[in-house]
Amino acid sequence: MLILYHVTPSANIPSILQSGLVPQLGQRSAIAGETVPAVFCFASLDEVETALMNWLGDYFDEDEQLSLLQVDISPDARLGEGAEYEVVVLSSIPAVAVEVLLHDVWNEAGLTDDALIISARP
């Protein structure tokens, strides 16, 4: 299994826990110029932190609550090409393969003046 991380608005959690993550072209995909439906993930918590403190954090409203998910990707999942910091998953990710690590990233993670500190839970 490949362990990846996905950031989503917390309002999406009930649907994700019921139906999983389905590749799609959403609001942020359109802004970023994406053309292939996908689930966009990160390979490490460091990459999540960097993205949230920079470009990804800019895509969300300041008051929008965000959740951090850990996803287990099966070996037969289809992966696509993406930027060096992302893993593009072209296959659906079933709900049983999704775990919510943080329900509110900004309030549950450590936040300093210039860094977001996300610790993996045991």
pLDDT tens sequence for the chain (122 residues):
899 999 999 999 999 999 999 998 877 666 666 678 999 999 998 899 888 888 888 888 888 899 999 999 999 999 998 888 889 999 999 999 999 998 888 777 654 444 455 554 43
Angle at 46 between CA 68 and CA 89, to 5 degrees: 60
Q: What is the pLDDT of residue 118?
A: 57
Q: What is the pLDDT of residue 7?
A: 95
Among candidate residues 122, 113, 118, the one with its CA nearest the CA of residue 5 = 118
* Cα 84 versus chain centre, distance: 15
The token pair that represents 48 in the structure block: 């999540």
Q: What is the pLDDT of residue 109?
A: 66
Distance between CA atoms of 122 and 91, rounded to whole angstroms? 27
Q: What is the pLDDT of residue 83?
A: 82
